[in-house]
């Protein structure tokens, strides 16, 4: 499989994502922000960082990059687009996902382990996981608090489009230990087509035991397995 990894000025998780992809035996293709070609990739990853310095708002400038026009067309055609941290912010700014990411409730930059509960297995990103499974995946952000109006939040819940929720290590409610104060403890959501995922935690930083957790690799494997099934039956 070929994973395309977007590179904006200020991106810094691109090589980490490439490492995770290559660990699982797949090709990592770097996609420069000024280019329009996606080079025939099977999945596009918008990685973490500070795209264009996060001027104006996080992700607000990156949404206008030439590459993003191609990414939006790719997603509209059913292609897999995966936004991680800053990538999630870009997807919200581009209106590819609902809601917004705002300053952490603590007003602090938080870089620490977090625990996510799998809330749906009905996506390419989570089909290889178990419903209710708890993953240890770190966060690293200052503007990671997910917010949306009540009607949007209710719709996300009703359509099972909340992919991950912050929880305590035992899977119970995270409460005051939330890393950012996201509404309803939401850590990741998908679009209506379920082919676009945005999540704040960094699975590429949890892809091998040396990093403290290899749980993040399960997402990369899930995507690859889903793509393989699609190719088999296409």
85, 92, 207, 218: the active-site residue: 85
CA atoms of 179 and 167, how far apart (whole Å): 10
pLDDT digits (tens, 9 = 90+) for 94-133: 999 999 999 999 999 999 999 999 999 999 999 999 999 9
Task: Show the tokens assigned to 36.
Answer: 């329009």
pLDDT digits (tens, 9 = 90+) for 21-65: 999 999 999 999 999 999 999 999 999 999 999 888 899 999 999
pLDDT at 55: 83
pLDDT at 232: 55
pLDDT digits (tens, 9 = 90+) for 154-168: 999 999 999 999 999
Whether 43 is catalytic? no
CB of 81 within 8 A of CB of 91?
Answer: yes
Whether 202 is catalytic? yes
pLDDT digits (tens, 9 = 90+) for 63-77: 999 999 999 999 999
CB of 137 within 8 A of CB of 129?
Answer: no
* Claim: this prediction has a pTM higher than 0.85: yes
43, 93, 202, 207: the active-site residue: 202
Instruction: Say if residue 148's pLDDT is above 50.
Output: yes
33, 204, 207, 218: the active-site residue: 204
pLDDT at 101: 97
Using the CB atoms, write b or e for 139-155: b if 16+ within 10 Å. bbbbbbbbbbeeeebee
Q: According to the CATH classification, is domain 2-233 in 3.40.50.880?
A: yes
Whether 17 is catalytic? no
């Amino acid at each position: 499989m070929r994973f395309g990894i977007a590179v904006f000025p200020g991106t810094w998780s691109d090589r980490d994502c490439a490492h995770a992809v290559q660990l699982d035996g797949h090709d990592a293709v770097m996609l420069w922000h000024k280019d329009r070609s996606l080079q025939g990739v099977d999945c596009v990853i918008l990685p973490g960082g500070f795209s264009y310095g996060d001027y104006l708002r996080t992700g607000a400038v990156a949404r206008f990059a030439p590459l993003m026009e191609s990414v939006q067309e790719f997603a509209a055609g059913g292609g897999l687009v995966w936004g991680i941290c800053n990538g999630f912010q870009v997807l919200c700014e581009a209106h590819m996902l609902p809601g917004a990411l705002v300053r952490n409730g603590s007003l602090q930059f938080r870089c620490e382990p977090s625990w996510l509960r799998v809330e749906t297995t009905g996506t390419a990103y989570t089909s290889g996981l178990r419903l209710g499974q708890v993953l240890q995946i770190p966060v690293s952000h200052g503007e990671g608090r997910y917010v949306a109006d009540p009607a949007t939040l209710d719709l996300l819940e009703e359509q099972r489009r909340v992919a991950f929720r912050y929880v305590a290590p035992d899977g119970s409610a995270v409460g005051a230990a939330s890393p950012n104060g996201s509404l309803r403890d939401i850590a990741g959501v998908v679009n209506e087509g379920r082919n676009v995922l945005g999540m704040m935690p960094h699975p590429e930083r949890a892809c091998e035991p040396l990093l403290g957790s290899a749980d993040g690799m399960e997402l990369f494997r899930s995507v690859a397995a889903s793509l393989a099934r699609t190719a088999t039956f296409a």
